[in-house]
Structure 1
């Protein structure tokens, strides 16, 4: 788990397709799509961190975001 700023977030209207660009990484990372609600909730936390210029604790496994804490 890495405490990092979130540079940007992105989502499409398609199911389970949301991305974030953590400052600690060198590219976009997809939010792991185990469930639609899980992707939505994780995206919401990342978007809130970005909007309020706060760091988030982000876990990345196999180049996908699997866990986020504010």
Structure 2
């Protein structure tokens, strides 16, 4: 789905990054912890979309976690 990003959030814990999507205002959605570099790369795309105000395409899995993002 194409959406804007309301906010992003991360902690110092490994693979713990989150984003709040504008289209389904249901709170934060976790980036699926499949690989450390994958979580970092998806998070950077979401942060870039937020910082520039651009829409991003977000894919999700059955647990409603973010699995991929495309600018």
Q: Give the match for residue 45 of structure 1.
A: 45
Runs of at least 5 residues in structure 1 that lack an aligned partner in the other structure: none
Q: What TM-score, normalized to structure 1?
A: 0.94
Instruction: Find runs of 4+ consecutive structure 1 residues off by over 6 angstroms.
Output: none
Q: How many corresponding residue pairs?
A: 69
Q: Give the match for residue 63 of structure 1.
A: 64
What is the RMSD computed on CA atoms of the aligned residues?
0.7
Shift of 1:24: 1.2
Q: What TM-score, normalized to structure 2?
A: 0.93
Runs of at least 5 residues in structure 2 that lack an aligned partner in the other structure: none
Question: Distance in 2 between the 1:68 and 1:7 partners?
Answer: 15
User: Which of the two has greater strand per residue?
Assistant: 1
